[in-house]
Amino acid sequence: MAIDTIRWTGDAVRIIDQTLLPNELVYLDCKDVKTLWDAIKTLKVRGAPALGIAAAYGVVLGIKDYKGTDTPKFVKHVCDLCDYIGKSRPTAVNLFNALAQMRGLVLYNPDKPVQILKAVLEAEANAIFEEDRAVCRSMGKHGASLIKNGMTCMTVCNAGALATADYGTALGVFYAAKEAGKKFRVFALETRPLLQGARLTAWELQKNKIDVTLICDNMAASVMRNIGIDLIFAGADRIASNGDAANKIGTYMLGVLAKHHKVPFYIVAPKTTFDLKIKTGKDIPIEERSPEEVTHFGLRPTAPKGIKVFNPAFDVTPNELIAGIVTEYGIIRKLDAKNIRNVLTK
Ligand code: MRU
């Protein structure tokens, strides 16, 4: 998978500027935390696991030039950085889980010299990056076992290489199935309003020679009825204890359609996307984004000036619509708090 979505260069967080895809493949070096924060906010880097990695490296970026030697002051500096990065986007819990890991390291080591803490934080960010690479591969393997030759699958948004440090969650399933020699095709929803499906998923699947067909979101029902879909795979930004899963707006719609058309609907997500502190999807904070994303198509206005707009970036698919959650530990089919916790903590 030759897509280098995010990496630490030693003095910058290098990302692909995803707002320019599929027309241009441009790398952006974020050399200060504000630039990285803006990149997260504007979706230059996006997708839950990539946001976790960006947050961790954001802390490394913010301590890189720290000159002081007083540990309590350094601890406060790290905590302030975590608070700041945590205000970029609210829904993907990977971002907060990574920040909690980084913050925890300094809070639980208040006696260590600053130089040591700096090295430990950088090592932790690298470990978060490496772990994501490994879990993508495990999820891919487990998910690919569901795909049989000749099947037609569907996906929404982008849960691929552009959303992770490796080949993705939902799209990782397709890459693993292809590596296993299976023949199948994929329908990708364009994913209004910001077109992650059209701009990103279609781009990376095509680049990797997966048989992909792009459709508008409002074609999903008709494709299920008239062409036939065997399996649906979507990523997630935050999964509650009971398996309710928040993902890109439109995912819940697919879950409802899947039930009507009797298509198994799977969420593919690593342990870092679970939020076991919350009971159900009702507690998941849903990001609302600017009205211009809905009233404009690119820069072109497509709605009357002054129109009221509602623009939630995510929705929650309730557990009863989900056939299973594909994790690095295997496929969790019984979606209740006890079973999910057992699988994730065994
Ligand atoms: O707003 P985005 O593009 O960050 O939304 C991304 C998604 O909804 C993805 O499906 C999710 O983060 C999973 S990525 C493996």
Where in the sequence numbering do the catalytic residues fall? Answer: 237
CA angle 280–284–287, rounded 5-degree value: 160
C-alpha distances (whole Å) from 26 to each of 3, 17, 21 are 12, 6, 8
**CA–CA distance, 234 with 249 (Å, rounded to integer):** 11
Please give the full DSSP string across 150-206, using - where no structure is assigned: TEEEEE-S--BGGGSSSSBSHHHHHHHHHHTT--EEEEEE--TTTTHIIIIIHHHHH
Is the C-beta atom of 196 inside 6 A of ligand 1?
yes
In this predicted model, what pLDDT tens digit does every residue of 150-173 receive, in sequence order?
A: 999 999 999 999 999 999 999 999
Distance 146 CA to ligand 1 centre (A): 22
Work out the end-to-end distance of the chain between its first and last CA atoms, rounded to an integer number of angstroms: 30
Pick the CATH number of 6-137 from 1.20.120.420, 3.30.470.20, 1.10.3720.10, 1.20.5.510: 1.20.120.420
The three-class DSSP label of residue 101 is helix
* Closest atom of ligand 1 relative to the 248 alpha carbon: 8
Does 181 have pLDDT greater than 70?
A: yes
Does 300 have pLDDT greater than 90?
A: yes
Is the C-beta atom of 89 inside 6 A of ligand 1?
no
Quick one: how far is CA 141 from the chain centroid? Answer: 18
Task: Give the tokens for residue 337.
Answer: 């708090």
Q: Using omega within 30 degrees of 0 as the cis cutoff, is the peptide bond preceding 193 cis?
A: yes
**339 C-beta neighbours (distance < 10 Å), count:** 14
Domain ranges of the chain: 6-137, 146-345
Output the CATH code of domain 146-345: 3.40.50.10470
Closest CA to 34 of 101, 85, 78: 85
Provide the whole-model pTM. Answer: 0.97
Is the C-beta atom of 322 inside 6 A of ligand 1?
no
What pLDDT is attached to residue 1?
63
Task: Give the tokens for residue 98.
Answer: 């990574």
In this predicted model, what pLDDT tens digit does every residue of 60-114 receive, in sequence order?
A: 999 999 999 999 999 999 999 999 999 999 999 999 999 999 999 999 999 999 9
Is the C-beta atom of 140 inside 6 A of ligand 1?
no
